[in-house]
């Protein structure tokens, strides 16, 4: 509508004026992803967001996603200004892994290589040997396992459990979960598969093991988008945040995408297939981030001493992924 068009026009002008670029995650709302595409920004998974932010020449990055993505961008590019539509957009995995408790866990297992998921605070990353995202986690753990390393993994228990099963590596797992993926329901998914016997099931590995076991393809957001394109099925049941449908439908206009069920009969869920924090990234908030002042801060700051430490395992991941 008119107001949205107005915000879009203003944002486009401000992006140019401020030498800024929009970096959006696949889970943000379709209009945000479309705006990033229209303005020469990027829409991608968390690994590519990190790489894009680091290598893009713009002076300012607007990170439409959640806090750890903004912090990662700032850690990798301390000289850039990193803005976020809201500083309130966190992640249940980040919240579920407080730095002091995590540090004590590491101290208790000094013979382990510390591998943390990107969905963590700068302080947790600063304690890690490796940072991984879901696109590259399996390969990195395979690599460490082949060197005979014992691994301390945090924070996602489902992703950690999946990788453990795939690699057989010696892994100690922190026990947090993503509130969105944790809600997918096995019985209801069985019923849905019975209803659509021709459909393939795509699952993000932050989902419970019983859901992953029913998958035709398991992977990060970018890997699931690829699977949607390559699998022959015309109908796909998707167990991840529904924000991903924008890109899947754009790349596969003839296919039908169905949300995997988040609630059994009579049950309710806290965050039905859409991350409440990703949902905070609206057009108005992006506009406000570009016009922010001290009263309404939108800029990401990371303690320089922590950032210096966290940069090491982040760059290790980017170098490995190349
Ligand atoms: P990826 O895009 O790396 O698969 O991450 C998923 C996620 O939960 C981001 O919040
Ligand atoms: Fe965190 Fe889950 Fe939201 Fe991703 S979808 S940001 S893992 S709460």
How high is the ipTM of this complex? 0.98
- Cα angle at 195 between 193 and 201, to 5 degrees? 25
Look at residue 70 and tell me if it is in a domain: yes
Look at residue 308 and tell me if it is in a domain: no
Question: How many whole angstroms from 189 Cα to the centroid of ligand 1?
Answer: 22
| Alpha-carbon span 316 to 143, nearest angstrom | 13
Question: How many whole angstroms from 311 Cα to the centroid of ligand 2?
Answer: 22
Question: How many whole angstroms from 204 Cα to the centroid of ligand 1?
Answer: 8
Backbone angles phi, psi at 116, to 5 degrees: -120, 145
77 and 18 within one domain: yes
Q: What is the pLDDT along the chain (322 residues), one digit of tens a residue?
A: 899 999 999 999 999 999 999 999 999 999 999 999 999 999 999 999 999 999 999 999 999 999 999 999 999 999 999 999 999 999 999 999 999 999 999 999 999 999 999 999 999 999 999 999 999 999 999 999 999 999 999 999 999 999 999 999 999 999 999 999 999 999 999 999 999 999 999 999 999 999 999 999 999 999 999 999 999 999 999 999 999 999 999 999 999 999 999 976 566 666 689 999 999 999 999 999 999 877 789 999 999 999 999 999 999 999 999 8
Query: Pick from 147, 173, 199: which residue ends a domain?
Result: 173
How far, in Å, are 73, 99, 149, 282, 283 from residue 83 at the CA level?
10, 23, 38, 14, 14
Q: What is the pLDDT of residue 296?
A: 80
The enclosing domain of 121 has a CATH number of: 3.40.50.10800
168 and 187 within one domain: no
83 and 7 within one domain: yes
105 and 83 within one domain: no
Question: How many whole angstroms from 91 Cα to the centroid of ligand 2?
Answer: 5
Tokens in use for 247?
Answer: 């890109």
CB 202 within 8 A of CB 228: yes
Structural domain of 165: 93-173
- pTM comes to 0.96
Look at residue 139 and tell me if it is in a domain: yes
Which H helix or E strand runs over 60? strand 60-64
Domains of the chain: total: 3
Tokens in use for 113?
Answer: 């290589």
Look at residue 322 and tell me if it is in a domain: no
Q: What is the pLDDT of residue 292?
A: 80
Q: 209: which residues sit within 8 A by CB, 6+ positions away?
A: 158, 161, 162, 165
Specify the residue with its C-alpha closest to ligand 1, atom 5.
46
109 and 58 within one domain: no
How far, in Å, are 4, 5, 14, 22, 214 from residue 287 at the CA level?
11, 12, 8, 11, 41
Is 207 close to ligand 1, i.e. is its CB under 6 Å away? no
207 and 164 within one domain: no
48 and 72 within one domain: yes
8 and 83 within one domain: yes
Q: What is the pLDDT of residue 271?
A: 67
216 and 160 within one domain: no
Is 241 close to ligand 2, i.e. is its CB under 6 Å away? yes
**In the block, which residue shows the tokens 């001493």?**
305
Look at residue 313 and tell me if it is in a domain: no
Look at residue 315 and tell me if it is in a domain: no
Specify the residue with its C-alpha closest to ligand 2, atom 5.
275
Look at residue 309 and tell me if it is in a domain: no
Backbone angles phi, psi at 66, to 5 degrees: -120, 170
Is 182 close to ligand 2, i.e. is its CB under 6 Å away? no
- Cα angle at 115 between 213 and 156, to 5 degrees? 40
154 and 112 within one domain: yes
Q: Is 108 helix (H, G, I), strand (E, B) or coil?
A: helix
107 and 85 within one domain: no
Specify the residue with its C-alpha closest to ligand 2, atom 3.
275
Look at residue 141 and tell me if it is in a domain: yes
125 and 78 within one domain: no
């Amino acid at each position: 509508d008119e107001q949205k068009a107005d915000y879009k026009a203003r944002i486009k002008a401000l992006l140019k004026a401020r030498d800024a670029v929009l970096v959006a995650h696949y889970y943000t709302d379709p209009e945000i992803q479309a705006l990033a595409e229209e303005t020469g920004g990027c829409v991608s998974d968390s690994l590519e967001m990190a790489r894009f932010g680091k290598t893009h020449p713009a002076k300012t990055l607007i990170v439409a996603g959640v806090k750890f993505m903004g912090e990662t961008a700032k850690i990798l590019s301390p000289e850039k200004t990193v803005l976020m539509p809201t500083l309130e957009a966190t992640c249940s995995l980040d919240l579920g892994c407080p730095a002091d408790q995590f540090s004590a866990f590491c101290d208790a297992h000094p013979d382990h290589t510390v591998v943390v998921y990107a969905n963590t605070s700068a302080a947790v990353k600063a304690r890690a040997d490796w940072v991984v995202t879901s696109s590259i986690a399996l390969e990195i753990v395979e690599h460490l396992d082949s060197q005979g390393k014992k691994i301390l993994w945090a924070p996602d228990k489902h992703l950690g459990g999946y990788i453990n099963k795939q690699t057989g590596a010696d892994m100690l797992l922190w026990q947090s979960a993503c509130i969105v993926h944790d809600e997918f329901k096995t019985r209801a998914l069985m019923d849905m598969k019975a209803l659509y016997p021709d459909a393939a099931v795509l699952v993000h590995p932050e989902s419970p093991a019983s859901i992953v076991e029913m998958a035709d393809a398991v992977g990060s957001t970018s890997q699931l988008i690829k699977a949607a394109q390559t699998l022959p099925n015309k109908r796909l049941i998707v167990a991840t945040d529904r924000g991903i449908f924008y890109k899947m439908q754009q790349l596969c206009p003839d296919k039908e995408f169905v949300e995997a069920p988040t609630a059994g009969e009579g049950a309710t869920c806290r965050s039905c297939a859409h991350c409440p924090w990703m949902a905070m990234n609206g057009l108005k908030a992006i506009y406000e981030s570009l016009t922010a002042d001290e009263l309404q801060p939108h800029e990401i700051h990371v303690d320089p001493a922590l950032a210096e430490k966290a940069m090491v395992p982040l760059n290790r991941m980017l170098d490995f992924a190349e």
